C-alpha cells in the first residue's frame, strides 16, 4: 500500500463497531481500510456472548472471526494490522494516518472505533504482578489456573461470565463486588449463584495484592486476607484515543468522543462509533456497537456524496 493510494474511509479499530462500519461501507462501494493492532477488539476476549441476535451462545473470538470474514473475505475491505500513532488533517482536507510501523494511510474520511481498554484497580501490587497472577482476560488465561483458587473483581456481565468460565478450571472462584447487587444480566447472575465453586463476596473490595514471585493473597477492605493464586480484574473499561491529532476532537470528562445521532464528531470528516463514544455510556453492548458502526458508515457515504 503506497502513500499515493487514498481510501474513501479509514476505520480505526477492528472490534464490532469497526467491522460493522466496514461491512456497510463496502456495500455502499466506499473504499475502506480497517486499521487495528488487534482485530476483534475487547469482544475477541469475551468468554461467552448470549445476547447477540442469531447466536444463543457464542465465544467472543468466534463471533469476531465471523465479522472479520464478512468484512475482509466476503466484501474485500483492506485489513491493516498496525497501531495508529497519529491522525493529521492535511491542507487538501484528507487525513494522513501515521502507524507504528512508520507506514502511512491516506483517507478522505475517518471512523474512530478504537474501543476501550481494561480499567485498573489502582491498588498496590497490581502492576507488579501483572502477568504473574493479575489478569484481565478469563478466556485468555483461565487454563493456567486449573485446580487453583482465583478471585474475580467486578459486578457486570464481564465479571459474571469470567467467573463462570473460570469455574470450569479453578478449584474455587471468589467473585468480589463492592456493591450488594450485581449490575449484569440476571441470566448470568442466576448462573453464578447456581455454580457450586463460585463464592460471592459482595460489599467488599481489594485493597492490596500480595506475593513474592506471583500473587499469593489479597488484602480486602475489611482487613481480612484472601489466599488466591490469581486475580481477574473485570471492573470496566476506558476509551482508547491515544493517538496524536492536529485537531481538537470534542470529548467528555471520561475521554469518550462526543458524537451526534448520526455519529458525526465536531470535526468535518471524522466520525466515531462503538464503546469509544459518549453514546455508548447508555449501553455498552456488541449489538449497540454494531448499530453505531452501521450508522457511521451510512453517514460517511452521505458525506462523501455531497462532494467531500
Residue spans of alpha helices (H) in 146-221: 157-167, 186-194
Q: Could you tell me the CA-to-CA distances from 184 to 1, 84, 283 in Å, in that order?
A: 44, 33, 11
How far, in Å, CA of 191 to CA of 252, rounded? 36
> Is the C-alpha dihedral spanning 58, 59, 63, 69 positive or negative?
negative
Is 140 one of the catalytic residues?
Answer: yes
Which among 8, 100, 103, 137 is annotated as catalytic?
137
Cα–Cα nearest to 116, from 281, 239, 286: 239
Q: Which residues contact 189 (CB under 8 A, 6 or more apart)?
A: 160, 182
Which among 82, 91, 100, 140 is annotated as catalytic?
140
Given a contact cutoff of 8 angstroms between Cβ atoms, the answer to whether 177 and 188 are in contact is no
Strand ranges in 140-264 using DSSP code E only, listed in sequence order: 149-153, 172-177, 198-202, 206-211, 215-220, 225-227, 230-233, 237-239, 244-245
C-alpha cell at 119: 480499567
Is 141 one of the catalytic residues?
Answer: yes
Q: Which residues contact 118 (CB under 8 A, 6 or more apart)?
A: 136, 233, 237, 238
C-alpha cell at 101: 510501523
Is 248 one of the catalytic residues?
Answer: no
Residue with cell 488533517: 89
Which among 82, 100, 103, 141 is annotated as catalytic?
141
CA 185 to chain centre: 19
The set of catalytic residues is 137, 140-141
Amino acid at each position: 500500500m503506497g502513500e499515493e493510494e487514498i481510501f474513501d474511509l479509514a476505520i480505526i479499530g477492528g472490534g464490532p463497531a469497526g467491522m460493522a462500519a466496514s461491512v456497510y461501507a463496502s456495500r455502499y462501494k466506499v473504499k475502506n481500510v480497517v486499521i487495528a493492532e488487534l482485530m476483534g477488539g475487547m469482544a475477541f476476549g469475551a468468554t461467552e456472548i448470549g445476547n447477540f441476535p442469531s447466536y444463543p451462545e457464542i465465544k467472543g473470538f468466534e463471533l469476531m472471526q465471523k465479522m472479520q470474514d464478512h468484512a475482509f473475505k466476503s466484501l474485500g475491505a483492506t485489513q491493516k494490522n498496525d497501531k495508529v500513532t497519529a491522525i493529521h488533517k492535511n491542507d487538501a482536507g484528507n487525513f494522513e494516518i501515521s502507524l507504528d510501523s512508520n507506514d502511512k494511510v491516506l483517507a478522505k474520511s475517518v471512523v474512530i472505533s478504537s474501543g476501550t481498554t481494561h480499567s485498573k484497580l489502582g491498588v498496590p501490587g497490581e502492576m507488579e504482578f501483572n502477568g504473574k497472577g493479575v489478569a484481565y482476560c478469563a478466556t485468555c488465561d483461565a487454563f493456567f489456573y486449573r485446580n487453583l483458587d482465583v478471585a474475580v473483581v467486578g459486578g457486570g456481565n464481564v465479571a459474571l461470565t469470567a467467573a463462570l468460565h473460570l469455574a470450569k478450571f479453578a478449584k474455587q472462584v471468589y467473585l468480589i463486588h463492592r456493591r450488594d447487587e450485581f449490575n449484569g444480566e440476571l441470566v448470568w447472575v442466576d448462573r453464578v449463584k447456581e455454580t457450586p465453586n463460585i463464592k460471592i463476596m459482595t460489599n467488599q473490595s481489594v485493597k492490596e495484592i500480595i506475593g513474592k514471585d506471583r500473587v499469593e493473597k489479597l488484602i480486602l477492605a475489611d482487613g481480612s486476607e484472601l489466599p488466591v493464586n490469581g486475580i481477574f480484574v473485570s471492573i470496566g473499561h476506558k476509551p482508547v484515543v491515544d493517538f496524536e491529532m492536529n485537531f481538537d476532537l470534542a470529548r467528555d470528562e471520561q475521554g469518550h468522543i462526543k458524537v451526534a445521532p448520526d455519529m458525526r464528531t465536531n470535526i468535518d470528516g471524522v466520525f466515531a462509533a462503538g464503546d469509544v463514544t459518549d453514546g455508548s455510556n447508555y449501553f455498552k453492548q456488541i449489538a449497540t456497537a454494531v448499530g453505531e458502526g452501521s450508522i457511521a458508515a451510512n453517514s460517511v457515504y452521505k458525506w462523501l456524496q455531497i462532494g467531500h
